[in-house]
Amino acid sequence: MAPKISDYFHEGEIVAVKGTLDRPISGLAIDSRRVVPGMMFFALPGHRTDGASYIDEAISRGAVAVVTSSMPVHPPGKATIIQVADARATLAAVAQRYYKFPDRDLSVIGVTGTNGKTTVTHLLQHFLGGDQRVGLLGTINYDLGARTVPAFRTTPEALDVFGMLGQMRDAGCRQAVMEVSSHGIDQHRVRGLQFGAAVFTNLTRDHLDYHKTLDAYFEVKSRLFTGKTGSLPKVSVVNLDDAYGEKLAAELAAEVPGTRLVTYGEHPDAQVRAEQVQLNFKNSTFRLVWPGGSMDIDSPLIGRYNVSNMLAAIATAWGLGRDPVVFLARLRAFKGVPGRMERIEAGQPFNVLVDYAHTDDALRNALGMLRAITPGRLLVVFGCGGNRDRTKRPLMARAVQDFADIAFATADNPRTEALAQIFDDMRAGVTAPEKFTWIDDRRRAISLALDMAKPGDCLLIAGKGHESYQEFADTVFPFDDRHVVRELIGIKAVKVS
Residue pLDDT, tens place only, 277-292: 998 888 899 999 999 8
Q: Pick the residue with more confidence: 473 or 190?
A: 190
Q: Residue 190: what are its φ and ψ, rounded to 5°? A: -120, 25
Q: Find out whether 320 and 260 touch, Cβ atoms under 8 Å.
A: no
44-101 pLDDT, tens digit per residue, is 987 777 888 999 999 999 999 999 999 988 888 889 999 999 999 999 999 999 999 9
Whether 255 and 299 share a structural domain: yes
**pLDDT score at 486:** 96
CATH number of the domain at 393, please. 3.90.190.20
Rounded to the nearest 10 degrees, how much is the dihedral formed by the CA atoms of 335, 365, 128, 125? Answer: -60
Q: What is the mean pLDDT of residues 298-312?
A: 93
For 304-328, b/e burial (b = at least 16 CB within 10 A) is bbbbbbbbbbbbbbbbbeeebeebb
Q: Dihedrals φ, ψ of 200, to 5°? A: -110, 115
Handedness of CA 331, 240, 136, 215 (dihedral sign): negative
Least confident of 65-69, 82-86, 148-152, 321-325: 148-152
From 291, 313, 333, give the residue that closes a domain: 333
Q: What is residue 147's predicted lDDT score, i.e. its pLDDT?
A: 95
CA distance 488 to 474: 27
Report pLDDT for 392: 92
Q: Report whether pLDDT(211) > 60.
A: no
* Helix residue ranges per DSSP H, 156-297: 158-170, 182-186, 208-211, 214-226, 243-255
Reported confidence tier of residue 207, pLDDT bands at 50, 70, 90? low
Same domain, 59 and 123: no
In a shared domain, residues 144 and 162: yes
Instruction: Please give the average per-residue pLDDT across 400-411, as a whole number.
Output: 98
Residues 215 and 283 in one domain: yes
CATH code at position 31: 3.40.1390.10
Residue 107, pLDDT > 60, answer: yes
Rounded-to-integer distance, Cα 462 and Cα 366, Å: 9
72 lies in the same domain as 202? no
Domain limits for position 262: 99-333
Residue 355 has pLDDT above 80, yes or no: yes
Same domain, 347 and 329: no
What's the pLDDT band for 205 if we cut at 50, 70, 90? low
Q: What pLDDT band is residue 204 in, cutting at 50, 70 and 90?
A: confident
Same domain, 175 and 272: yes
Local confidence band at 131 (pLDDT 50, 70, 90 cut-offs): confident
- Among 93, 119, 144, residue at a domain's last position: 93
Collect contacts of 78-81 with beta carbons under 8 A, ≥24 apart.
79/19, 80/5, 80/17, 80/18, 80/19, 80/20, 80/21, 80/23, 81/17, 81/18, 81/19
- Between the alpha carbon of residue 141 and those of residues 302, 332, 338, 465, 467, the distances in Å are 23, 22, 10, 13, 11
Residues 78 and 107 in one domain: no
When mean pLDDT is compared across 14-18, 19-23, 211-215, the lowest value belongs to 211-215
Contacts of 289 (CB under 8 A, 6+ apart): 272, 273, 274, 275
347 with 441, same domain: the answer is yes
pLDDT at 57: 95
Give, in degrees to the nearest 5, the angle at Cα 312 between 330 and 104: 85
pLDDT at residue 270 tops 70? yes
Cβ within 8 Å of residue 214, ≥6 positions away: 203, 205, 208
pLDDT (0 to 100) of residue 72: 87
- Average of pLDDT values for 146-163? 93
Into how many domains does the chain fold?
3
Question: Do residues 392 and 307 both lie within one domain?
Answer: no
Section 397-419 average pLDDT? 96
Say if residue 62 is in the same domain as residue 192: no
Answer with the residue of higher pLDDT: 303 or 110: 110
Domain stop point among 301, 333, 365: 333
Q: What is the mean pLDDT of the chain?
A: 94
| CATH number assigned to the domain comprising residue 267 | 3.40.1190.10
Examine the domain organization and report whether 252 and 375 are in the same domain.
no
Cα atoms in the Cβ-side hemisphere of radius 13 Å centred on 380: 32
> What's the pLDDT at 290?
98
